[in-house]
Amino acid sequence: MTPELNIRQMTEVEVNELVHWAELEGWNPGLQDAELFWATDPDAFIAAELKGELIGGGAITAYASEFGFMGFFIVRPEFRGRGLGNQIWHARRERLLARLRPDATIGLDGVFNMQDYYARGGFVFSHRNIRFRGESGAELARQHASELSTATASQEQADAQGVRLIALTELPFERLLAYDRTCFPAPRPGFLGGWISQQDGLALGLLRNGELSGYAVMRRCVEGYKIGPLFADDAAAAQALFTPLAAQAGAAPIFIDAPENNPAALDLVQRHGMVEVFGCARMYLGPFPEIAHQQVFGVTSFEFG
């Protein structure tokens, strides 16, 4: 028989510990992730205790009761292979279903060797999200100097072309929320407010003739920087956002999680010589979200959707 677990909500201190576990697993979390995730949805973090000891946990984020996401699922290595993870995962799924309206969808990004397990829990495969690494952001930008020049042209040239990069914090927040909603299954104002203004991050929007045609956020991680999300109307807009972010990373490596169901996203990373280093299966419980998949060049986070 598997031991009985105490499943409860995490404390903020334990969320920091969970992020540290993610670092030990090689997930390369952002330096501000614990603080930002807690601020977004403190009720999302589920702890598993065994005889008073924290042995595992994960996140069950609810976005406006319309969309849920299961992420950050970790069981400490010494407690694996004993059926405990199965108990934790099913408890998380049931708790998240209770947080959402009956017709809501739940998503997850699961490692490939767990895909069959999640399928037994009702989740259906959609596509793969692949993590790509570039060794030096500045070198990637240098190799595409002409694209960087176009993206950061003089104000006179930009005005003539009707194209301009701006800091997302300078854009009316309602416009950002409206664009994000085309690429994400539910409104997430609380999350985005912190995500675009985090310390050691850079968040840019691309305007064409005054209309928002894409946005991207880059955050500092344990190793280098991750770009996510990268949402854009088309490949040219995605490139115009990607290049200045890569330049800002300097000599540090950069990472982006590109969805395979957008061929233009794969073309972007491959054109820059980025190398595949990891991947997850995006799966859904419930109807597949109706979003503009062709505009998703980089997902926001494997942990929060």
Per residue in 37-51, pLDDT tens? 999 999 999 999 999
Question: What digits encode the pLDDT tens for the residues 239-264?
Answer: 999 999 999 999 999 999 999 999 99
Rounded alpha-carbon distances, angstroms, from residue 277 to 10, 18, 116, 237, 257: 31, 22, 22, 25, 10
Nearest to 72 by CA among 18, 120, 25: 18
Total domains present in the chain: 2
End-of-domain residue from the set 72, 106, 129: 129
End-of-domain residue from the set 101, 129, 157: 129
- Give the amino acid at 227: I
Q: What is the pLDDT of residue 147?
A: 47
Between 154 and 133, name the one with better pLDDT.
Answer: 133
The parent domain of residue 227 ranges over 130-278+286-298
- Does residue 242 share a domain with residue 154? yes
pLDDT tier at 148, thresholds 50, 70, 90: very low
Whether 60 maps to a domain, the answer reads yes
Q: What is the DSSP letter of 264?
A: H
Whether the predicted model's global pTM rises above the 0.95 cut: no
Rounded alpha-carbon distances, angstroms, from residue 196 to 56, 132, 152, 169, 227: 29, 22, 20, 7, 12
Q: Quick check: 276 pLDDT over 90?
A: yes
- Does residue 294 share a domain with residue 170? yes
Q: What is the pLDDT of residue 162?
A: 82
- Does residue 293 share a domain with residue 252? yes
Contact present, 236 and 213 (Cβ < 8 Å): no
Whether 303 maps to a domain, the answer reads no
Nearest to 226 by CA among 11, 55, 22, 45: 22
Query: In terms of residues, how long is the chain?
Result: 305
Contact present, 32 and 198 (Cβ < 8 Å): yes
Give the rounded distance of the alpha carbon of 289 from its chain centre: 16
Whether 305 maps to a domain, the answer reads no
- Does residue 293 share a domain with residue 145? yes
| pLDDT > 90 fraction of the chain, expressed in percent and rounded | 86
Burial of 145 (0-12, 13-18, 19+ CB in 10 A): exposed
Contact present, 137 and 253 (Cβ < 8 Å): yes
- Does residue 51 share a domain with residue 173? no
- Does residue 204 share a domain with residue 151? yes
